[in-house]
Chains A and B, each alone.
Chain A
Amino acid sequence: MAELPETPRTPARTGFAHALYTGAISYSFVGRRKVWYILSAVMILISVGGLLVRGLNLGIDFRGGVAFNAPVAVNSSTIDTVRQAVVSSGPGDLDGTEVVTVGTGHVRVQTRPLSPSETTTVRQAIARVTGAQADAVTYTNVGSQWGRQITQKGLQALAVFLALVMILIWVYFRDWRMSVSAIVAMLHDIVITVGVYALVGFTVTPSTLIGVLTILGYSLYDTVVVFDKVRENTAGLAGTDVTYSEGANRAVNQVLVRSINTTIIGVLPVAALLFGGAFLLGSGPLEDLGLALFVGMIIGAYSSIFIATPLLAQMREREPEVRKHTEAVLRRRERAAEEGLRVSAETVATGSTELTDLPATIRSQPVRNSRSARQK
């Protein structure tokens, strides 16, 4: 392979992806970490604030209650007539009943928790007023304790998942810092997703919960792919002129296109779900699930690039070994800049102590660098 003809390495037409890969275009993801941290901190603060001030709009699955759904030709007076019929149907304390129309063919009625016989009464009342068969009026009756059970299960699943994933990532990468960074990024995603729900006021249903739990997997999936490249770029760092942060930053740039592609391809089917759920079906599990995934996936992609990797680099740079290496690299560069011997202008640009982009000369083949070093 050393026999490769030394042709110009940059043909006329190069894509954006190629430029990112070689470093011709390089974004400082790791170097500007403070910016991303502040951005995320602000988002988290807003999320937590929204959660505290507005709270989550919990569906009947968490509050308890009955949701009826009846087919009806919707017109301007539908809501009032149906509501009137339900409130006066017999069972007391139905003033809090909510009636909404779904599309043009359905009406949805939500009441307080009802006993089986009350449910039958209300169901019949709705069937009478909408002119539908009693069997066509479908309903979901949820006891008030049910939500607690679901929530408990969800939290349990979250805890077990976190523990196992930390172990799995640690076993795969042999680096606990990677586990910690990945988990921090994932928690970041969950908090912001939940915050979006609180702020926008989307209804939280068990399907939302499924969506949020799925985001966990997706967020980690993204992070694992980025870390895989980081590991590759920073393996055998000692013999090179690259600092850990630079290697990690280059990895992020190299997988950027893949990350964008992954996110687009992941979000496309979810968008289809959302579309089907929201426009064709009105409401229900598809819409709830699609919404949670839609929000979560985009945030997940953001966090694997802007949060997980900078955090990892920061933690690694604190290690004595890595720090020594970084100092040595920076010293060498400073010296080289001062002496100005056989150094191209590009290298001088990065001679500052700020850890930024990779010098162009180092970018090309690390393999060859090490081999020539060995020959000497």
Chain B
Amino acid sequence: MASTQHKPHPGRTLIIFLVVIAAMYGLMAFTHSWSPRLGLDLKGGTTITLTAQTTDGKAPSAANLEQARNIIQQRVNSMGVGESSVKTSGDRNIVVSAPNVNSDRLLQMVGQTAQLGFRFVYAEAAVQAAAGPYTPTGLPSAPATPTPTPSASASAGAASASPGASASAGAASASPSATPTSYSDKDAKAQAAQVKAAQQWQPSTADQQAFTDYKCGQSVKAQDQNALVTCNREGTMKFLLSPVALPGTLVTKATSGIPQGNVAYVVNLTFNSIGATSFGTATTFLCSQQSPQNQFAVVLDGKVISNPQLDGTKGSSCPITTGQAEISGNFTQSSAEELANILKYGALPLSFTASSVDTVSPTLGGEQLRVGLIAGLIGLVLVAGYCILYYRGLGLVVISSLVIAGAFSYAAMVLLGEAMGFTLSLAGIAGAIVAIGITADSFIIYFERIRDEIREGRTLRTSLQTGWRKARGTIAMADGVQLLSAVILFILSVDQVRGFAFTLGLTTVIDLLICFFFTHPIVLLLGGTRFWGTGRTGSGLEPQHMGVTEAQLLGRRAHHVREEA
């Protein structure tokens, strides 16, 4: 009436809104997902936050962090735990979460920076790149041509049938001793024995058979003391390798660059004192071998990263006893840098420390979930009870709105879990509980506005409209501030805070939708009924509560009735 705006009929808005919610539940039925994904704090599991350590305290590059995340993801996957997730968080954190897993082992797996080893090549064979459903995983951010590829060297001619990488003694110019870590005699002896064992190792027939049968992409179980059959990262070559001769931990320094007077990129590596001795022994052995057994393989997480051969023809560079080696080949700048990084940090392009480890047993998780739900229920009942007490009949609007908001939020959480992996954590439940108050508050703003309008002398029916027009700006603004804080919390926060911020933001948006498309239409509809429309006792719109007469409340309508009568 007083409103000149073109407004769709409130009933229609209401029906459309309810249909949308029904559609969400239909979608849930369609995807067979009826409950939201639970976070590890609610179902039990281990969450590890790894923080990258940098020498200058600055954040590492995003590419390196992502590369590390991929490698850690592979390691976690190799443990065979379902539903694990590895995510980067902020500019320097990686959050690993896995349900129902031995937390000690998980920590050992992901925190380890070096799972790198040098092995001797016993046999190699080119494989069809198309063999098997092999998708090159690991270091996906690697540039177009990673480390020397066999094909490149094959085309280079008969001079070297093996991959185009070769190792030679590093230029003496580099700082000769890069602070070698002090190792005890025992370690030195053990290391010498390890090299010797690898030299003396001969494949059994089972090993030979495994090599013949192996297809790239099949999972491998890399153990330092055993032989290994595996492929290179590109899946173009397969190898039969000896046990680990030198672990990657012996490398103290690795750099890449173009040496003076050269044109191609090389990777320089420096061993510590024990490594230098062992590397000398190992290269002496390799120099006496024929191709392909004059190669060693740099094996990372069970895959061959590089397989340089010792170039006996260069004389002086074979064997390498200085503890400094240079790997040359068809490197590009980035592939050289990558190999240097791998040699330096082992698997990870960065070194990490576990900043926080959080384990929750399934029983504790279940208990937290139960308490969270109980607290939510108590909160709902308290709010509903208060609204009924204070707003009487209008309290029913609050309760139905809260119920709809609850149904909407639940569906949104389930569907977001399906669509983008949203998981509900304890902090998330807390966010939703806090949001009950915020949602109910929007209705209070509206109802109080209606009452204000009536007090100003307007009729009930006018007030429902004018009150809404004044209230909606306030509601939108207040929710906007709330949403802003949720968004900022989400963007600028660490792990568990995010769950809270996300549900808080989600429920705030839902509150806005409910207010505009449910509460307002339903109040308009109720305003047309006898009970609410005439301000009966218990409706929450009693005229005497607002200091007006019934005639004022009903306005001209009552006036006309009186005149007609």
Query: What residues make up the interface of A, taking CB atoms closer than 8 Å to B?
Result: 1, 3-5, 7, 9-15, 17-18, 21-22, 61, 69, 71, 116, 119-120, 135-143, 145-146, 149-150, 153-154, 156-157, 160-161, 164-165, 168-169, 172, 206-207, 209-210, 213-214, 216-218, 220-221, 224-225, 228, 232, 254-255, 257-258, 261-262, 264-273, 275-277, 280-281, 284-286, 289-290, 293, 365, 367
Contacts and interface: CB of A to CB of B under 8 A. Distances in A.
B427 A285 contact: yes
A217 B437 CA distance: 13
Interface string B347-386: 0000001111111110110011001101110111011001
A261 B104 CA distance: 50
Interface in B444-475: 444-445, 448, 451-452, 455-458, 470, 473-474
Given A141-B354, A160-B488, A18 B546 contact: yes
For the complex of A and B, list the 10 residue pairs with the smallest distance between their C-beta atoms, beginning with the closest: A269-B379, A276-B375, A217-B485, A266-B437, A272-B379, A141-B357, A272-B378, A268-B382, A146-B355, A157-B492
Contact of B364 (A13, A69, A264): A69
B504 interface: yes
Given A14-B547, A265-B441, A285 B496 contact: yes
A160 B491 CA distance: 11
A258 B494 contact: no
A288 to B, nearest CB: 10
B457 A269 contact: no
17 contacts: A5-B559, A11-B543, A15-B547, A21-B452, A140-B359, A141-B354, A142-B357, A145-B51, A146-B51, A149-B90, A161-B485, A206-B494, A214-B489, A268-B382, A269-B436, A272-B382, A286-B368
A281 B354 contact: no
A225 to B, nearest CB: 6
Interface string B26-49: 000000000000000100000001
Nearest to B102: A135
Given A139-B359, A228-B477, A1 B378 contact: no
Given A160-B492, A266-B437, 6 more contacts: A1-B457, A5-B559, A141-B358, A161-B488, A271-B382, A289-B500
A302 B391 CA distance: 23
A293 B434 contact: yes
B427 A289 contact: yes
A372 B378 CA distance: 53
Given A213-B489, A225-B474, A273-B375, A149 B494 contact: yes
A273 B430 CA distance: 7
A115 B363 CA distance: 26
B497 interface: yes
Interface in B380-426: 380, 382-383, 386-387, 390, 426
Interface string B259-298: 0000000000000000000000000000000000000000
Nearest to B90: A153
Contact of A272 (B355, B433, B451, B477): B433
Contacts of A165: 481, 484-485
Please classify how large the interface on chain B is, using the bins under 10, 10 to 19, 20 to 34, 35 or more: 35 or more
Contacts of A273: 375, 379, 430, 433-434
A270 B434 contact: yes
Contacts of B430: 207, 210, 273, 285-286, 289-290
A141 B456 CA distance: 61
A231 to B, nearest CB: 10
Contacts of B165: none
Given A145-B51, A210-B497, A266-B438, A261 B547 contact: no
A210 B544 CA distance: 44
Given A10-B547, A228-B477, A221 B382 contact: no
Contacts of B546: 15, 18
Contacts of A153: 90, 492-494
B18 interface: no
Nearest to A136: B361
A268 B489 contact: no
B477 A172 contact: yes
B434 A11 contact: no
Contact of B375 (A157, A217, A286): A286
B371 to A, nearest CB: 5
B356 A146 contact: yes
A367 B440 CA distance: 31
Given A21-B455, A157-B493, A161-B484, A286 B434 contact: no
Nearest to B426: A285
A350 B457 CA distance: 26
Contacts of A217: 481-482, 484-486
B107 interface: yes
A224 B433 contact: no
